[in-house]
Amino acid sequence: MPTLLGVPFLGRRRETASEPPTSRENIRDAAGPQASPNAQAPNNFSSEFTGSMFPSRRAEILSAHQRSTASQEPLHTPASPTKAKSPDSVAQRTAAFQHRRPWRRLLYIPQDFPDDYVDDTFLMELQKNANVRMYNYSTVVMQTTVVTQHISSIVVFIAVFINLYRGALTGNLLLWCSTVITVIGIISWDLLCLTLRTPVQRIIRLGMIKGAVLFALLLFGLSPILRTLTEDTSSDTIWAMTVIFFFVNLAFHDYSTGNLTNIRFPGSVSLNAAVLASVLLASQLDSNLSVFAFLTFALKWFALFPIFRRYLKRISAAASMVTTVVLALVATAMFMYISRAIAMLHVFSTLFITFGCPLWLIWVQRYKNEIHGPWDEARPIVHHYYH
């Protein structure tokens, strides 16, 4: 019985004659050369214990042996393979999905779909560069003339002041020249309207002439005050403020062609900045006549001449181009005797704005990528009905 339980040393004392005794040396030799007196088998007890064993002690040894055997078992058992879904459950889910109500792109109604769900037709409505306007080089060049015209007009105005300040130009000559140029501009306006058969603009000539006369008398009366307006201010401050006001005039100028009769925002800001710069420059002149002539020329140059240029741009692109070339040549010629560096800078800036910037715009336009799709906000369509 003890031998069947796996405890060989318990049956050593009950050896029979049929079983020859085995010595310790024989057992060690049978175990092999690597065996030692202290070696133990993984699933047997040591045979070094001798003597009688009580039943209680035997039970404790058996229980300890069972616990050691159980501890040697792997802690994690292999997971059982996942059971495949039955065809009935897949069919039920498919049927339930098909019985859903169709998805609608509305978040304020309850649906069987999550809020971030989109159908297969979501990207089919994607549009790239739908509202992008493709520019033509010649068209863009023609559109830049309004900028170069205004820059050239500012350069001409500054050249007139420098000549007046140095004494190369008198106030009387400037007053007569500005008056003659104004009359020529009005006559040219009427001739263009008659030649091109365009509708005459709604300009009340009598009211315009009346307002011009009243304003001229007001300027003539205020000339002594304006001449001594900045006596206590240094010249460096006046030159710096003048440059700032001219930059404001250039930035807020109305470059559109739709406004032909009045001055609106932001053109009003540009005109006010030009008038302030003109007052600052006029305060540096010596005589009252020079102040009056210079301010009169400034009002005609920055208030009336831009309207005439817009009219030319609107009725004839060729006439606008001719005006651009004439202004650029006059500005360059007037500054050639004052500063050749500024004259050459004006020439290069005019060429860059007229021919370089349009080419740059067309080259950069190829990288434009504007996308539209169903994620954009809805735009209401307003129908106008006229009876």
Q: What is the pLDDT of residues 49-64, one digit of tens each?
A: 444 444 556 566 666 6
Give 159-174 pLDDT, tens digit per residue: 999 999 998 899 899 9
pLDDT at 75 over 70: no
The pLDDT of residue 208: 66
The pLDDT of residue 154: 95
Helix, strand, or coil (residue 31): helix
Of the candidates 107, 109, 108, the one whose C-alpha atom is nearest the C-alpha of residue 117 is 107
List, in sequence order, every residue forming a beta bridge with 127; answer none if it has no partner. Answer: 372
The pLDDT of residue 243: 94
Mean pLDDT in residue range 121-146: 83
| 4-8, 312-316, 337-341, 364-368: the lowest-pLDDT one | 4-8
Give 210-264 pLDDT, tens digit per residue: 777 788 888 888 888 988 888 888 889 999 999 999 999 999 988 876 666 566 6
User: pTM of the entire structure?
Assistant: 0.64
- 317 phi and psi, to 5 degrees? -70, -35
- 127 phi and psi, to 5 degrees? -130, 135
From residue 315, alpha-carbon distances to 247, 263, 272 in Å are 29, 20, 28
pLDDT at 14 over 70: no
The pLDDT of residue 62: 61
pLDDT at 330 over 90: yes
Query: Under 8 Å CB-to-CB from 34, ≥6 apart: which residues?
Result: none
